[in-house]
Structure 1
Amino acid sequence: MKEVIILLADIVNAFHDFLIQFASSMGWDLTDKDLHFWVIGILGIIGLLVVEVVFHALAKWSISAISFLFTLSMVLVFVFAVEIQQKITHRGNMEFQDAAVSVLGFLAFALGYFLLRGFIKLAKR
């Protein structure tokens, strides 16, 4: 887990340095806050547009699909927050396998939920 976070941090830092150099070569005097504003703003709006298209398609199919994706994203954030907290407090090991097993736990319970719902739907018919 530590290695994954370090790799991601290295990628972000390299991209950050590239953007600083690019902005400087263009004669732009951008602060770190300016970069955060533009980069996160642009990435966020691209993400919003992609999610908008995907969720509109999913809404025609099933609201449960949207609920599942939203909950999965919350679970991912929570799992990584727990792993980082373990590293900071030294109350457990920060391991990628812990995160993977945590997400698998959610997927297993979600599968059980959807199967139960399907059986209930069939029984009602």
Structure 2
Amino acid sequence: MREIVIMLAEIVNTIHDILVDMFGLHMTDKDLHFWVIGIIGIVTFFFVYAGFKIVEKMKWSIAILSFIYTFTVMVVLVFAIELQQAITNRGNMEFADAVMGLWGFIVFFVVYAIVALFVYFIVRKVKKE
């Protein structure tokens, strides 16, 4: 996990150096964050918006959107916990821990989905009769 954080930091530093070298842009960290995060955010928004418009047309769209939102929150939570472990030295900061935590959520969600579908089809069959 530490290696991933270090690699991401190196990528960000490289992008910063490229911006300075290629364009002669001498930005403060605040300026750089404003532009880079702003551009990444708006591009991400357009992709998410298009994807959610597709999901909107599907059956159980609210359940699908709820899963996507919850999964996103879980990703943030899992990595926040891993970073907290690194900062406080209480536990090991490992990418595998984060992945296993997310697998836990997915497994519990699949169990929920199977039970919910089972109940849905039973109720539907009972209402037909």
TM-score using structure 1 length: 0.91
1:102 equivalent in structure 2: 101
CA contact (8 A) 1:23 1:30 kept: no
Uncovered stretches (5+) of structure 2, i.e. residues with no partner: 125-129
Q: CA deviation at 1:29?
A: 4.7
Q: 1:123 to 1:50 in 2, by over 3 A?
A: same
**Structure 2: which amino acid aligns with 1:81?**
A
**Structure 2: which amino acid aligns with 1:38?**
W
2:17 equivalent in structure 1: 17
- SS of 1:30 mapped into structure 2: coil
Summarize deviations over 1:12-66 as a string: whole Å, max 9, x none.
1111111122331xxx553322221111111111000000000111111122111
**Alignment partners' CA distance in 1, 2:29 and 2:84:** 26
TM-score using structure 2 length: 0.89
Larger CA deviation: 9-18 vs 31-40: 31-40
Kindly indicate whether residue 66 of structure 2 is the aligned counterpart of residue 57 of structure 1.
no
| Identical residues among aligned pairs (%) | 46
Kindly indicate whether residue 29 of structure 2 is the aligned counterpart of residue 32 of structure 1.
yes
Uncovered stretches (5+) of structure 1, i.e. residues with no partner: none
* RMSD of aligned Cα (Å): 1.2
Moved over 2 A (4+): 20-23, 28-32
1:4 equivalent in structure 2: 4
- SS of 2:116 mapped into structure 1: helix
- SS of 2:57 mapped into structure 1: helix
Q: 1:73 to 1:103 in 2, by over 3 A?
A: same
Kindly indicate whether residue 73 of structure 2 is the aligned counterpart of residue 74 of structure 1.
yes
Alignment of 1:73-92 (within 5 A): 73-92=72-91
